[in-house]
A and B are shown apart, each in its own frame.
Chain A
Amino acid sequence: MPAIIILCSLGLLFGVGLFIASRVFKVYVDPRVVSVEHVLPGANCGACGLAGCSSFAKAIVHGSAEITGCIPGGEAVAHLVADIMGVEAKTVEKDVAVMMCHGRDVQDRFEYDGIKTCAAANLIHGGPKECSVGCIGYGDCAAACSFDAIHMVDGFPVVDESKCTACGKCVAVCPKRLFKTLPVAKLVHVGCVNCESGKLVRRYCKAGCIGCKKCETSCKFDAIHVVNNLAVIDYEKCVSCGICAKECPTGAIFSQREVRKAAGLWPVKKSKEAQAQQ
């Protein structure tokens, strides 16, 4: 009997104590922070530049972060956040990560015996591949992607563009800097970064740019030029017509038109505000 009384009074005492503490030590949290955090994707990927979704929510309410700062969330999230904060949201164009190397079948010039990550292999003579500036293939990009959008197929990365949120992790992690995030409307890209002469490139990579300039001569918009044996696209001028990709003899230049059409990513649907503006 005395034990029951003691335990009950202890319970009562602690309950009252906790109640008082929850009042006295209460931290005021703006309710908007909770609502904003609720609509964010919750992946804590860091693309906004902050430590995680809750930090980003606090920063938005505080006013130190852009409403459109959540890149993976894209337009949908930007609108929801704008509604909570009671402001107009600018339209956000979906970006996508593109891999600027097509050298799937490049052979090794030596047997690499070290830590099997791209970052580590890059320290040893630029990696074991014959092409010293192209993809090494150990999958640091796939490991870094928190949206499961990159998969290694036969030792070569493939981007699943419908899952890709352009958070930029792959861009930062690739030691050869082969990834770029570009608007989804830009369909044509050069899948090679090798500046060596075409004769040398041809020896080890069938899909590399040989600097033949067929693209440059066929472009009607002055948007592609061969600089240092490598074709480079000026995205300001490029309209994604795809002619250079058709002319390219090695397939180094490619167009994502069919892939993105099939995935429903292209043509880009304009948001209601943009349509209303027109």
Chain B
Amino acid sequence: MSEQLFDGKLVVGPAPHVATKDSIQRIMWSVIIALVPALIVAAIYFGYYALMVVAVSMISAVLCEAAIQRFRGVPVTVSDGSAALTGLLLAFTLPPNVPLYLPVIGSVFAIAIAKQAFGGLGFNIWNPALAGRAFLLAAYSGQIVMTKWPILSNYLFGNITVDAVTKATPCAILKEAPLTIFSHYSLMDLFIGRIPGSIGETSALALIAGGIFLIVKGYVNWRLPLSYIATVMIFTVFLPVSDGAGGTIFLWKDVVLQGGWLDLVRISTAEAFSGGLMLGAFFMATDMVTSPLTGKGQTIFGVGCGILVALIRLYGGYPEGVCYSILIMNTAVWVIDRLTVPRFFGVKGHVSKDA
């Protein structure tokens, strides 16, 4: 035996001995940072109360997870940011004047039932934030589903009760009388977020910016939001809709006849910018735990969500369908994963599905 070359014992582990700098923490906090633009828009248009809702939601999610993990006797992992992210996303789906006890209840449901009861991070089947929202929708529907929302005049951190103006949300208008959408809101309003809606869903600009940030970082596969949004845009103009006067029309026929293809694209884009589609496509459907493993699978997932959103928006009881479309497709993820097993290197032909 040679002399001792080193102070202390060597560390021995399996290869590889280098690893990516990525971690769950980095991913979660990157997503939270990507949502900051939307948070700023919410602060500008909905005032400091919206920020309070967000804070309350995030804090209750984090505390709930810490408490449950203590109770379960497992290591407390709230510093990885996943509970904070759930709280943030849940708050973004709530109306800006929601009573403060509702985000608390919603967060607790999201973390305790939709996440920890399944086994914690990585084991849940449904997106916890959306599960929380669906629970609130079912239990407190009066305060969540509103077709008229208060909107603030444009100053930062104002008080929500001053200068409140009630108007119908773009989704509600598109459902009742789609051809009149531009008499209420311009396309620019929809893009920037000068519209009524939930706290985080109004500004397509802020959400697309955050989404692109995540795609460039490699945490979101561009196929999912693209297929989701494109499917919604196509289906909402090619399926028959009501025309606001009791009859049904085909948007692609009537709009093209009256105003041309450009008008059709504008209505289609309005459909994409309204409601929670941008938030859902870039931040909810793309939640890693509850979306398919492969790119092909994510495309199928996006298309499925898109079809469901179109059906709910056009024919369903609610003006907005993003929340339910994603929850329903979450249930199908395991099937999608089975059907999209990649062809192993050197194996010819289709892979059998009996695993």
Direct touching of A and B (C-beta under 8 Å): yes
Question: How far is B12's CA from A115's CA once the two chains are assembled, in angstroms?
Answer: 12
B12 and A110 contact, CB distance less than 8 A: yes
| B10 beta carbon closer than 8 Å to chain A | yes
- CB neighbours (8 Å) of B10 from chain A are 110-111
Q: Give the bracket for the number of chain A residues in contact with chain B.
A: 10 to 19
Question: How far is B327's CA from A107's CA once the two chains are assembled, in angstroms?
Answer: 52
Question: How far is B13's CA from A123's CA once the two chains are assembled, in angstroms?
Answer: 10
- CB neighbours (8 Å) of B9 from chain A are 108-111
Question: How far is B11's CA from A111's CA once the two chains are assembled, in angstroms?
Answer: 5
Q: How far is the CB of B86 from chain A (nearest CB, A)?
A: 29
- Where chain A touches its partner, the secondary structure class is loop
| A76 beta carbon closer than 8 Å to chain B | no
Q: Name the residue of chain A whose CB is nearest to the CB of B13.
A: A113
Question: How far is B12's CA from A112's CA once the two chains are assembled, in angstroms?
Answer: 5
- CB neighbours (8 Å) of A23 from chain B are none
Q: Name the residue of chain A whose CB is nearest to the CB of B8.
A: A111
- CB neighbours (8 Å) of B11 from chain A are 110-111, 113
Within 8 A of B (CB), among A189-226: none
| A51 beta carbon closer than 8 Å to chain B | no
| A125 beta carbon closer than 8 Å to chain B | yes
Interface string of A115-150 (1 = CB under 8 A from B): 100001001110010000000000000000000000
- CB neighbours (8 Å) of B13 from chain A are 112-114, 124
Question: How far is B12's CA from A125's CA once the two chains are assembled, in angstroms?
Answer: 9
Interface string of A80-117 (1 = CB under 8 A from B): 00000000000000000000000000001111111100
| B349 beta carbon closer than 8 Å to chain A | no
- CB neighbours (8 Å) of B14 from chain A are 114-115, 120, 123-124
- CB neighbours (8 Å) of A123 from chain B are 14
- CB neighbours (8 Å) of A114 from chain B are 13-14
- CB neighbours (8 Å) of A125 from chain B are 12
- CB neighbours (8 Å) of A113 from chain B are 11-13
Q: Name the residue of chain B whose CB is nearest to the CB of A128.
A: B12
Interface string of B2-19 (1 = CB under 8 A from A): 000000011111100000
What are 25 A-to-B residue pairs whose CB atoms are below 8 Å? A108-B9, A109-B9, A110-B9, A110-B10, A110-B11, A110-B12, A111-B9, A111-B10, A111-B11, A111-B12, A112-B12, A112-B13, A113-B11, A113-B12, A113-B13, A114-B13, A114-B14, A115-B14, A120-B14, A123-B14, A124-B12, A124-B13, A124-B14, A125-B12, A128-B12
A112-B12, A112-B13, A125-B12 known, 16 other contacts, Cβ within 8 Å: A108-B9, A109-B9, A110-B9, A110-B12, A111-B9, A111-B10, A111-B12, A113-B11, A113-B12, A113-B13, A114-B13, A114-B14, A115-B14, A124-B12, A124-B13, A128-B12
